[in-house]
Amino acid sequence: MKKLGVILSVSALLTLCLVSCGKKQPESLRPETTEIDGSLGMLYELVDEDYKFPTVSNQFEIKVKRNELEGYSYSKVGVGYEVYDENGKVLVSELNPSLEDISSWPPIPFSVMEMKSGEVGSIYVRLKDWPDKYAGAKTFRLILESNIDDESTINNSSSSSSDNKWDKLLDDYEALVNEYNKFLTEMKSGNVDSQSAMNALSKAQAMQEKLDAGKSDMNSKQIQRLSKIATKLTNIAAKVATINTEDIKSVNGVDLKDLGL
């Protein structure tokens, strides 16, 4: 027990150093993906470039390009976003409000709503908790949402695009679960990389929450696959209980022999 306590203390100190040392406000943020979430996301795509992080005010300019899909009319629209650090950890998010609360989101400019295919326009987002929560920020994801809930805001011809979107997210989710499994397997061999394991688990759990929230837009095959991957993650996480602390040789790259342990 004494050895385990020392190991956990060393791990906590090293993790704290990694979190607290060297982080500063970003000069720019880059899209994690050009795909846009939300019921209106398939009408646009993010322009793939580095976006200057605001230094004078919290107003952040984002450029979107209109695609060829046709959209229905909608009365209330809003912009949401999620900001991540270099490990994919969520730093700030403004996600999925109820439809009656969507008016609290920054509006999509009318000029952007009226763009034709191929045209590019700017959306301005006021970043909450700016600038304190953005130290170490690297990437962001955009959401364009509508208050329409009784009919699709997107033409039916986009259904195959929607399926492809969820298939891609499921692929990403499964890759994160496999990455987490890799770190736990290395732990069982005696090399504990707690920071990487925690990052992998955090990203997998965040992706699972996103997919759970989108179940209503998935087909039956995708829902079954989501359930299967979630069960796989639960089973992998159970491996932690089987790790023998006496077999641990290193923690976060630090050889315990060098510490006299």
Phi, psi of 140 (to 5 degrees): -150, 160
Q: Where are the domains of the chain?
A: 28-154, 162-252
Please name the residues in contact with 42: beta carbons below 8 A apart, sequence gap of 6 or more.
36, 67, 69, 154, 158, 161, 162, 165
3-state secondary structure of 109: coil
- Angstrom CA distances, 211 to 41, 83, 174, 206, stand at 16, 18, 12, 9
pLDDT for 187: 66
Tens-digit pLDDT string for the chain (261 aa): 454 444 444 454 444 444 444 568 899 999 999 998 877 788 889 999 999 999 999 899 999 998 877 664 455 567 888 999 999 999 998 875 444 454 555 567 777 877 888 899 998 888 888 998 999 999 999 988 776 543 444 444 445 556 678 888 888 888 888 887 887 777 655 555 667 777 778 888 888 888 888 888 888 788 888 989 989 888 887 876 666 555 555 444 444 444 444
Residues 6 or more apart in contact with residue 156 via CB below 8 angstroms: none
Q: Counting beta carbons within 10 angstroms of the beta carbon of residue 24, is it exposed (0 to 12), middle (13 to 18) or buried (19 or more)?
A: exposed
pTM of the model: 0.48
Q: Give the span between the Cα atoms of 82 and 32, in whole angstroms.
A: 10
